[in-house]
Structure 1
Amino acid sequence: MKIAIGNDHAGVDYKNAIINALQAEGIEVLNCGTNTNDSVDYPDFGHAVAKALEKGEAELGIVICGSGNGIAMTVNKHPQARCAVCWTKELAALARAHNNANVISIPARFTAIEQAVEIVRTFLATDFEGGRHERRVQKI
């Protein structure tokens, strides 16, 4: 599995912790985010993750910004992306199981780094349930 990850300046430490955790589990990660705490524009990194999915360079994506909202809105401008803002493991599981989300957005200012790693693990470990949810996802 290959994951694309993108972040703005609020998410650098989160991204690094998530990359380390995923690589320790043998998951390949494509770093589409900034590596500096200097102020940057989150849309640049949200678009990069969505484009990586569109090109088949990654199967799923993770994006991180201060609130999680702006970067999620950016990703969702791409027709093949279904990005969900998740600040708990339960939301991450539902985003995958019910909405077939292929990108998760983490609000760095509202989660702890350890919590963010667990949110990502849950997201990746959860499968889409299909069934009645498939009909709904097709209407998005």
Structure 2
Amino acid sequence: MRRAVLLLLTLAYLAGVMWMTLRPSVYDAHTAGLLWAALDVFAVHPETAWITFSRVESWANVAMFIPMGMLPALLLPRRLWWVGVVVGFAASAAIEWYQGAFLTTRVSDPHDLLMNTLGAVVGAVFVGLVLPRRRPRRPRTRAAASTPVW
């Protein structure tokens, strides 16, 4: 059951990533207007002036690819957690290639490849090295199940 739920989440997540990255424009006029209005508010205050479009875009790329590293690491045996990094890098490279080859309104950017891969690294490392390991269950024997515990 756990595996089926993870596969369903993976498919939904991949559909979302494809929708965000493989269409001609990420922002419509309304979304772009909201983003720039928020950035203008941040720019007025010295404490938040460091929040720029470039930084928001970079960290959004990291955040979007954390599940790209996590999901393969959760689906595969624990010792293969690093496959999430490879999957994240490969998916990001494919996206950047597609954007450069087929979308004249998008820019293929090596910085995006780096930030996407960083997100995949964060996700895979979290699953592989930070999440606690589950102990394998010992099968219950019939004798152990019928023995009363006093």
Question: What TM-score results when the alignment is normalised by the length of structure 2?
Answer: 0.21
Structure with more of its chain in helix, by fraction: 2
Greater Rg, structure 1 or structure 2?
2
Structure with more of its chain in strand, by fraction: 1
